[in-house]
Amino acid sequence: MGKIQNNRAWWLVLPVFILVAFSALVPLMTVVNYSVQDIFGPGQAYYVGTEWFTSVLHNEQLQESLVRQFLFSGAVLLIEIPLGIGVALMMPKTGVKASLCLILLALPLLIPWNVVGTIWQIFGRSDIGLFGWGLNALGLDYNYTADTVDAWLTVLLMDVWHWTPLVALLCYSGLRAIPEAFYQAAEIDRASKWAVFRYIQLPRLKNVLIIAFLLRFMDSFMIYTEPFVLTGGGPGSSTTFLSQTLTTMAIGQFDLGRAAAFSIIYFLIVLLVSWLFFTAITQADKEK
């Protein structure tokens, strides 16, 4: 006789499916419904097909925001990933110093996003902010509220300060998971520090770095609160990223149809880039 399967455990998973349906699927289907309609008010909606998608794809403001978003996310990844690896390599392995470093690294991650923007808004002021005052004291004409480059660099520096600890903590956990036998063998072979990093540490950090890359890309590509609090998207539109453009369109202009179409394209871009990167990395690993 075949073994009788007990499927009662699926009842324990049912609440999760219900929760996901209400927190993700239902809002997603609502957005899809809005994206193909022109909404004038309660009970006043007209089917427009793909008109909003066409309008969004040909919108110059959205195209500029998309370019700024890719530039910002690319800069974030190029700075935070190597910097996080470097910080993790310099941290003590055990003892009180290691615990202290972990606590200090985790502190920026505990600060709410709107508070981070407020901190850097004050920190960058030339009259009372230590950072802005210090740069001006050195003879640099720094003003993030009026200069486009200063505003951009300040937002980037703020994000690096806030989220590099996450990359460092992930890399630190990956480094601590490497068996000590590998280091002992490298010491016997008199391998240099670069050789240890190149052939032992970096290959075994790959899975951790994939997670760090995906987390930082998705989060940086959807950044909203910090630059909105710090610069309000200015000066001009230099720090107006996709999320702020979408919010202005949906709430400020109450253009729900176009905003819904834009949000779907936004979601697909994040999903596509993340999938392409993950596929490329895993495929390269299989070829080895």
Which of 18, 26, 66 lies closest to 266, judged by CA? Answer: 66
Classify 41 as helix, strand or coil.
strand
Q: How far apart are CA 115 and CA 240, in angstroms?
A: 19
Burial class for 126, CB neighbours closer than 10 Å (0-12, 13-18, 19+)? middle
Average pLDDT over every residue of 144-173? 92
- Tally helices (H) and strands (E) across the chain: 15, 2
Q: What's the residue count for the chain?
A: 288
Q: What is the pLDDT of residue 164?
A: 94
Residue type, 44: Q
Question: Between the CA atoms of 277, 278, 283 and 284, what dihedral angle is there, to the nearest 10 degrees?
Answer: 60
Which of 246, 201, 232 lies closest to 66, judged by CA? Answer: 246
Helix pair 256-287, 206-221: axis angle to 10 deg = 170
Residue 206 has pLDDT above 90, yes or no: no
Residue 126 has pLDDT above 70, yes or no: yes
Q: Which residue has the higher pLDDT, 154 or 281?
A: 154
Average pLDDT over every residue of 229-248? 86
Which of 166, 157, 170, 167 lies closest to 81, judged by CA? Answer: 167
Q: Which residue has the tokens 């190597």?
A: 82
Q: What is the pLDDT of residue 81?
A: 94
Average pLDDT of every residue of the chain: 85
Q: What pTM does this model have? A: 0.83
Domain 59-254: CATH architecture, name and number where available: Orthogonal Bundle (1.10)
